[in-house]
Chain A
Amino acid sequence: MPVIWMIYAATLTAVLAADLKAEDRYRSDSDARYLHHINLYDVNNRKIQPDSTTPYSPMNTCGRCHDYDSIAHGWHFNAFEPDSVAGRAGEPWIWTDPKTGTQLPLSYRSDWKKLYRPSEAGISSWEMTLQFGGRIPGGNMGIGQARQQATKRKVTGQPVAGKTAVATAQSDAGVVDAAAVEPEPAVVSPRWPFTGKLEIDCMVCHAVSGDYDFGERRLHISQENFAWAPTAALRLGVIQGRASSIKDDADPDDDATQKKIPQVTYDASRFGADGSVFMDLVRKPSSNACYQCHSNRTVTADGIEPRWVHDQDVHLRAGMDCVDCHRNGIDHHIVRGFPGEDHPSGAAVETLSCRGCHLGAEQGQEDSITLRPGRLGSPKPLHVGLPPLHFEKMSCTACHGGPIPKAEAAGIMTSLAHGLGEKGHRTGEELPRLTAPVYLPGDDGKVGPHRAMWPAFWGELKDGKVTPLAPERVYDATRRALRVRKDFRDEVLNAKLSSSELKELLGEQRAKLDDEWSAEEQSQVDIATSEKGRQQFNQKVYAALTAIEDEFNVDQAVYVSSGFVYGKGSDEDTVSKIEVDDSKATGVIAWPMAHQVRPAGWSLGATGCIECHSDDGKIFSSTVSAIGPGPDQGQPVTMASLQGVDPDQRLQWNEMFQGRKSFKFLIAGSIFILLVTLFVGIGALAARLGGKAG
């Protein structure tokens, strides 16, 4: 453990000692719902009154009774702590900017390989909060410097004085004890004093379904009203003002700045006669709360597949909720449910994975009830006729999870990457381009369905490695060169031909009749559009790379997309592909997926061996191509090659399985002859024994 973390832990211990001990906290200890008619407190620990103008602070409100610091180290909140137990790889934060054709996979979790650390790309925790805050329940990167402030305040035992969250943050700036400084962020934003911190908002998950407005939360985070988002989302009042309107170099104590600080006008009807507010919440979050960040949509050539053609996860159909398996204690270490999960609490969670729940723990199941199969009434699958080898080579999800595999991996959209849940127009082509299911071996060597992507970003090529450059600075530097208003691909690569170009191509009369073009004319237009796109790409990317080299003072700037690295060509306005041996930049980034889980009848192989062991068995033959915003896409590769399966051997296996039915008759005949022989022997033995007895 790094020294700085030991110091931090010691500081935290002191904080907790000075604060409430766990056993001192009030508890209901009942399964019944506890009604929360509670007083709200702001960031300065002042009670919120109907005429207050400051937002309520979940930390100071909920943290009065609940162990905020323990919660803050739970699964959804510890992504900022590089030393936290990361476990199996999950979906990265994908920094997406359609204007610059960027889809950069990021993570603070040091165990998750091939992902860039935000600080490595020059991204501050404040920028991460602005970009992804609408998809995190607060805390970790969302409190940035503020985390240190909270620690400092508790150590001294003195609430920080100040008028607003701005003042709070400002008053602490520069007085933070070095011991409390976390390893992250390397890049510090000056905007924390204006936006306040995005504290863990308990109501994100614990509000009853329909009581929490995620749209309002996202809106206010996008307006940089971090500290105001929890108040807005519960619609406790109206927020006026945007922190985004305050300039970076503004003086927080200046009256002009103060006027721009958002103000809350509380809905007085939400307050009881005693000044308390009813927080309508539940202990077990509803699945609807999980869907806000954990929804997916499949995208095919026809666009986003409608929801009705897909079935719900079989467990949800059976009446379960997400939290029935993905459960947690006050430490909020939510069980992720993958095989071999090592829960930080030390609790045995093996039977909360698919295999553990349905088949029981692998060892000691006869000794302990808690390790037996059948938890929550789960049926024990017979897997009739399926050789056990499959369980050693494949995960449960290979056959039962993810979208049904087709000839090519489909596109996929996720809540975290594509903001599903927000009102908008989506075509399915939006960045980041993700694809699934991709059948790859996981950390345990078992093949399972993954989601995958290829990074696309602007970076510096040095010593054969590509390092991403800060996306926001890249945008500023390339704005003039790229001249993209909304979408890099639409405006650079797929730019429509002008009327004069069309006239030149098809003639004056035919050029106007775009809905009457013959197939040949359409083909001509497509080719010309593609050529124009390529030419524009070369010109604009050349100019953008030049601008980046000047702005960042780097020797060689490059653009990475779909596994290709583009650098400036030898001539002006030309771009050339550079061979780079850097799998982090050009290789596939994949993470396992589990849901939606399909029942036995809809699993792969339900109709027999040759569903997979044939030339068109999708788990092997389905293809995936590197996709991204750039002009070149990768060649399709089969899942078999990604799994390292020898094509000749696969062919042999397939042939073997074609003759399996006939072989069963052969083997039955063989057994018959051997049994007859054995009976003859038994007969002879019996006769011999009979003869001796006679």
Chain B
Amino acid sequence: MMKMFVDRLLLLSLMLVVLALLATSAATLWGEALGGSTLMLHMTAGGALVVGMPLVALWFLRRGVIRQAANAMLRCGYWLTILTATATIITVFLCMLPLPSTDQMNELMELHGYAGFAMVPAVALFSLAVVRSRRMKLTRSATPG
């Protein structure tokens, strides 16, 4: 019961954070730059992702999503989420270091955008898979025999 609650809590938090990131960065889709309070919100949500993503990764890893028994959709959603989140965080982290030049930063920001937007369907897939696997489990446990 507790595990299910944590599953739901983490998943809900992840979805909310990703939705906030999507909403605050949507303007970049039509070429506008982030700034002011929008950027501030984006960065705050980004901070939450940085803190929360390792928890999500480790928790669901422990919950056995990579076990063969887990369904393919769940595995796929999980790994895509981890992969895109890692890429999103790494690209922004590199920009924070006094290493990349302006041009390189522009490229990193572009990659950050691609990875970030790719994370949206990945998280959606993962969430859907978790919900589906839960329902299947419940159905099985409720079926006599």
A contact residues vs B (CB 8 Å cutoff)? 359, 381-389, 391-393, 646, 649, 652-653, 656, 660, 663-664, 666-671, 673-675, 677-678, 680-681, 684, 688
Contact check, A667 vs B86: say whether CB atoms are below 8 A apart.
no
Is the C-beta of B27 less than 8 angstroms from some C-beta in chain A?
no
Mark out the residues of chain B between 29 and 83 whose CB falls within 8 Å of any chain A CB in the assembled complex.
33-37, 39-40, 43, 47, 50-51, 53-54, 57-58, 61, 66, 68, 79, 82-83
Specify which of B54, B68, B90 is in contact with A688 (CB 8 Å cutoff). Answer: B68
Closest to A359 in B: B102
Given contacts A389-B39, A656-B43, A670-B54, contact A383 B102 (CB under 8 A): yes
Contact check, A649 vs B40: say whether CB atoms are below 8 A apart.
yes
Closest to A386 in B: B102
Taken together as a complex, chains A and B put the C-alpha atoms of A646 and B53 apart, in Å, by 32
Taken together as a complex, chains A and B put the C-alpha atoms of A671 and B83 apart, in Å, by 11
User: Which chain A residues border B40 with CB–CB below 8 Å?
Assistant: 649, 652-653, 656
User: Which chain A residues border B92 with CB–CB below 8 Å?
Assistant: 667
Specify which of B66, B89, B105 is in contact with A388 (CB 8 Å cutoff). Answer: B105
Contact check, B93 vs A388: say whether CB atoms are below 8 A apart.
no
Is the C-beta of B99 less than 8 angstroms from some C-beta in chain A?
yes
Shortest distance from the beta carbon of A383 to any chain B beta carbon, whole Å? 4
Contact check, B105 vs A387: say whether CB atoms are below 8 A apart.
yes
11 contacts across the A-B interface (CB closer than 8 A): A381-B102, A385-B97, A646-B36, A663-B50, A667-B89, A670-B54, A670-B89, A674-B57, A678-B86, A681-B79, A684-B66
Contact check, B57 vs A388: say whether CB atoms are below 8 A apart.
no
User: Which chain A residues border B109 with CB–CB below 8 Å?
Assistant: 388
Contact check, A387 vs B95: say whether CB atoms are below 8 A apart.
yes
User: Which chain A residues border B53 with CB–CB below 8 Å?
Assistant: 670, 674
Contact check, A382 vs B82: say whether CB atoms are below 8 A apart.
no
Shortest distance from the beta carbon of B45 to any chain A beta carbon, whole Å? 13
**Chain B's interface: helix, strand, loop or mixed, by majority?**
helix
Mark out the residues of chain B between 110 and 144 whose CB falls within 8 Å of any chain A CB in the assembled complex.
none
User: Which chain B residues border A667 with CB–CB below 8 Å?
Assistant: 50, 89, 92-93, 96
User: Which chain B residues border A678 with CB–CB below 8 Å?
Assistant: 82-83, 86
User: Which chain A residues border B105 with CB–CB below 8 Å?
Assistant: 383, 386-388
Contact check, A670 vs B43: say whether CB atoms are below 8 A apart.
no
Shortest distance from the beta carbon of B60 to any chain A beta carbon, whole Å? 9
Not counting A671-B93, A674-B54, A677-B58, a sample of 16 additional A-B residue pairs whose C-beta atoms are within 8 angstroms of each other reads A383-B105, A384-B99, A385-B96, A385-B98, A389-B35, A649-B36, A656-B40, A656-B43, A669-B54, A670-B89, A673-B58, A674-B57, A674-B85, A677-B61, A678-B86, A680-B66
Specify which of B35, B96, B100 is in contact with A393 (CB 8 Å cutoff). Answer: B35
Contact check, B93 vs A382: say whether CB atoms are below 8 A apart.
no
Shortest distance from the beta carbon of A339 to any chain B beta carbon, whole Å? 15
The 5 closest A-B pairs by CB, nearest first: A385-B98, A673-B54, A382-B101, A674-B86, A383-B102
Contact check, A388 vs B35: say whether CB atoms are below 8 A apart.
no
Contact check, B61 vs A680: say whether CB atoms are below 8 A apart.
yes
Given contacts A649-B36, A677-B58, contact A388 B85 (CB under 8 A): no
Contact check, A675 vs B33: say whether CB atoms are below 8 A apart.
no
Shortest distance from the beta carbon of A612 to any chain B beta carbon, whole Å? 15
Specify which of A384, A389, A666, A674 is in contact with B101 (CB 8 Å cutoff). Answer: A384
Taken together as a complex, chains A and B put the C-alpha atoms of A389 and B42 apart, in Å, by 14
Shortest distance from the beta carbon of B64 to any chain A beta carbon, whole Å? 11
Taken together as a complex, chains A and B put the C-alpha atoms of A600 and B68 apart, in Å, by 57
Shortest distance from the beta carbon of B50 to any chain A beta carbon, whole Å? 5
- What class of interface size applies to chain B in its complex with A? 35 or more
Shortest distance from the beta carbon of B35 to any chain A beta carbon, whole Å? 7
Taken together as a complex, chains A and B put the C-alpha atoms of A670 and B98 apart, in Å, by 19
Taken together as a complex, chains A and B put the C-alpha atoms of A656 and B93 apart, in Å, by 15
Given contacts A384-B100, A389-B35, A393-B35, contact A674 B89 (CB under 8 A): yes
User: Which chain A residues border B57 with CB–CB below 8 Å?
Assistant: 673-674, 677
Shortest distance from the beta carbon of A584 to any chain B beta carbon, whole Å? 29
Shortest distance from the beta carbon of B57 to any chain A beta carbon, whole Å? 4
Specify which of B37, B79, B99 is in contact with A649 (CB 8 Å cutoff). Answer: B37
Specify which of B47, B68, B85, B98 is in contact with A384 (CB 8 Å cutoff). Answer: B98
Given contacts A660-B96, A670-B50, A670-B51, contact A392 B33 (CB under 8 A): yes
Closest to B93 in A: A667
User: Which chain B residues border A663 with CB–CB below 8 Å?
Assistant: 47, 50
Shortest distance from the beta carbon of A606 to any chain B beta carbon, whole Å? 11
Shortest distance from the beta carbon of A21 to any chain B beta carbon, whole Å? 48
Closest to A663 in B: B47
Contact check, A388 vs B39: say whether CB atoms are below 8 A apart.
no
Taken together as a complex, chains A and B put the C-alpha atoms of A660 and B82 apart, in Å, by 24
User: Which chain B residues border A670 with CB–CB below 8 Å?
Assistant: 50-51, 53-54, 89
User: Which chain B residues border A649 with CB–CB below 8 Å?
Assistant: 36-37, 40
Closest to A656 in B: B43
User: Which chain B residues border A388 with CB–CB below 8 Å?
Assistant: 102, 105-106, 109
Specify which of A392, A664, A674 is in contact with B96 (CB 8 Å cutoff). Answer: A664
Taken together as a complex, chains A and B put the C-alpha atoms of A631 and B43 apart, in Å, by 48
Closest to A383 in B: B102
User: Which chain A residues border B54 with CB–CB below 8 Å?
Assistant: 669-670, 673-674, 677
Closest to B36 in A: A649
Shortest distance from the beta carbon of A444 to any chain B beta carbon, whole Å? 13
User: Which chain B residues border A386 with CB–CB below 8 Å?
Assistant: 102, 105
Taken together as a complex, chains A and B put the C-alpha atoms of A667 and B33 apart, in Å, by 23
Closest to A660 in B: B96
Closest to B39 in A: A389
Closest to A384 in B: B98
Taken together as a complex, chains A and B put the C-alpha atoms of A675 and B109 apart, in Å, by 20
Taken together as a complex, chains A and B put the C-alpha atoms of A642 and B132 apart, in Å, by 55
Taken together as a complex, chains A and B put the C-alpha atoms of A387 and B42 apart, in Å, by 15
- Of listed B34, B96, B98, B106, residue having the most chain A CB within 10 A: B96
Closest to B52 in A: A670
User: Which chain A residues border B106 with CB–CB below 8 Å?
Assistant: 388
Shortest distance from the beta carbon of A639 to any chain B beta carbon, whole Å? 16
User: Which chain A residues border B51 with CB–CB below 8 Å?
Assistant: 666, 670
Contact check, A681 vs B66: say whether CB atoms are below 8 A apart.
yes
Taken together as a complex, chains A and B put the C-alpha atoms of A664 and B37 apart, in Å, by 22
